[in-house]
Structures are given as structure tokens and as C-alpha cells.
Structure 1
């Protein structure tokens, strides 16, 4: 197990970029949550709290990548450090943009736990016109960015399977609720748009 979390050398600049981005990530989450309206205003038609088990499995994947020792390379940045930091920053910008655009398209429909509302809309625009689960795609890229910035590549051997198991647990429940509410409209959307990769999966 120790070999699994043994870190590779990583630039301190990449680590700073990763942790600095967490503040932006939290701000985007708060904005997404504010679109749901004040507490108590939701009229929930269907809810599947068992999807929280999927959240827990996904979180375990993040924990495996996020925790462990670091082998920081400290000093003036060389070409490798600059490239690593640029890749981390570029990926983070993409992840945050995709989450922001997806949560904006969902509006009051966005939630952590799988559920539908009486006024729920079937969102098929924005990032959802390309894939049905863009937020899960963004979170997967986030795991890869964490592994790069922290030098925890070996942890991906367990973290990636755990993340996708948790994701499937959530997606299967969400699709069940959406089919129950939207019927053939959701079936037509699912036949047209892939879950995670446009035109493939």
C-alpha cells in the first residue's frame, strides 16, 4: 500500500496552483447552490438518497489521490516545472468552466443528491447538448489534475476505478428518476447524446 501512495517529484508551483484554485472552486459551488433558491423553496417530486453512497465512493477516490506525502521540487522553475504548472492551470480552468456552465444550464435543477422537482426541466442545452453528464466528466479531469499536481499518479490505480464505480451508482439512479418523470423525451435524448464522451460512451 505504501508503494501505491509513493509520490513522484512535483513542482511547488503546480501544488500552489492546485490549492489556489480550490478557492475559485468553492466560489463556483456556492454560486451553483444559490441558483437553487432559498432553503425550503424546493418542491421535490422524486428523490433517491441512496445516490449518496455513490458520492461517498467518488469521494474515496479523491481522498486516495489527495492525501499522502509530497516530494516538492523547490527552486527557480525550469522548463518541466513551467510545463507542469501550465498544464495544471489550463486543466483547472477547463474543469471550473465546465462545472460552471453545466450548473448554470441546470439552474434550480442542480443538486448533489439525485432528485427531480415538480417544475423540473429536462436540460438538453449547454454542455448537456454534448454529453449527458458533463459535471462527472469535469470531476474526473479534476482527479487527474490532482494526481499531476501532487505527484500521486500511483494512487490512480485505485482512485479511477472507485470514481467510476461511484459515478455509475449515481448515474443509474439519476437516469431512473429522469425516465420516470420525462419518459420518451428522456429516452430520445439518451439515444441522441452519450453519457460521457461525445459520440463514444
Structure 2
């Protein structure tokens, strides 16, 4: 299962970042990468740094398992590993589906001076951040595939990084750029899962109708 986890990790990262970036560049002439998170020590910088660390650490669990690190006894069962494989593959597929659903608005990172269409249809009608939800799902699946102590770290760091990025960076940006349209959308659609993490505000169903779906 350690080898399978390593392969799934490499394929998931290659598709989510490499392949998706190449497709976006081919379709729009822009890579979609907005990697400048501002001055060191800022909230955006910490969010980006933690996210990069989580992605890099994701390799550690499978590598540690390959090197012979024992799994946590409570999770050391073939059914757990098989379930993790299904979850990781599902998360990878969901990540790509949500990325593609963003169309030309897809970005990695935030450029405060840029305005893109607000996407509210498809998976974004269920949760405001389905890409991040799917990435956490993939990470959770990989952790179950190689449930050692090292594999738990990237999952924890990833969740923390995504929470910081979404709450402190992306939501303020979207509220500034899209105003009432985003406020109405966020008032009725959960942050990561349906119905949970909705922002207070006036629910205005008609506001996003003219935006990209």
C-alpha cells in the first residue's frame, strides 16, 4: 500500500498543479499562477508557506512507510488502506472536476488587483471551496493508506493552511471584488461542505445569476 500511496500522491499533484496549469495556459494564454503572497510574515505569506509545506510533506508519509515505518496499530488493517485508496482517488478526481468547473477564473493564489468572474454553479453550488475540500479529501485518503505518525502531519498542516487562506485571504478579497454578489452567495452556500460556514448577510439569490456558472 505504501507504493500505491506514493503513486497516487505523485499523480494527484501532477494533475492538480502541472496538468491543470498547462491546460489553463493553453486555453487562456495565462498560467493562472498567482504566487506572490506579499511581504514575509504577512497573513497571506504564512498561508502560502503553510500550504507549500503541506504539499511537500505529503510525500513524507508514503516515503516513511516505504522505508519501513510502522503504521498506527488502531488503523493497521487492509480495509482501512483500501478505503483510503478509494477516498484518495475520489478526492483527486473531485479536485480536477472542481478546477475545471472554474473555467477561465481558475487561479492558484490571489492577485488583489485582478477581477475574475465569480463561479457559483456546478460543485460551487454545493460549497464555496470545493477544490480545497477535495484536496483535503485526497490527503485524508493518503493518510489512511499509510497511517503512520508522519502521514498525519501534512493533513493537519494542509487543513490549517487552507483555513487561513480561505478565511483571511480569499474571502476578504472576494467580498471586496464582488461585494453583494459574493455576500449573497456566501450567505446561502457553505464554506467547505453544504450548509456549514455560511457568512452572515442578506441572501440575494438573483445577484449571481449573471455571473459565470
- What TM-score do the two structures reach when normalised by structure 1? 0.72
Cα contact 2:95–2:130 (8 A) shared by 1? yes
Structure 1 segment 140-159 matched on structure 2, within 5 A: 140-153=136-149, 156=152, 159=154
Match of 1:107 in 2: 103
Match of 2:20 in 1: 32
Q: Extract unaligned runs of 5+ from structure 1.
A: 1-13, 74-79
CA distance in 1, matches of 2:37, 2:190: 25
> Aligned residues, how many?
179
Match of 1:189 in 2: 185
The change in CA–CA distance for 1:141 and 1:149 in structure 2 (over 3 A counts) is same
CA distance in 1, matches of 2:16, 2:5: 15
CA distance in 2, matches of 1:150, 1:103: 27
CA distance in 2, matches of 1:161, 1:23: 19
**1:70-119 deviations in Å (ceiling 9; x for gaps):** 3379xxxxxx43x2442132112211121111111112222221137866
The correspondence for 1:178, drawn from 156, 174, 177, is 174
Cα contact 2:132–2:162 (8 A) shared by 1? yes
CA distance in 2, matches of 1:132, 1:150: 30
Residue 56 of structure 1: SS of its match in structure 2?
helix
Greater relative CO, 1 or 2 (CA 8 Å, sep 6+): 1
Match of 1:8 in 2: none
The change in CA–CA distance for 1:39 and 1:98 in structure 2 (over 3 A counts) is closer
Residue 120 of structure 2: SS of its match in structure 1?
coil
Cα contact 1:98–1:127 (8 A) shared by 2? no
User: More displaced, 112-121 or 179-188?
Assistant: 112-121
**1:134-175 deviations in Å (ceiling 9; x for gaps):** 11112222222222222324653x545432331122112111
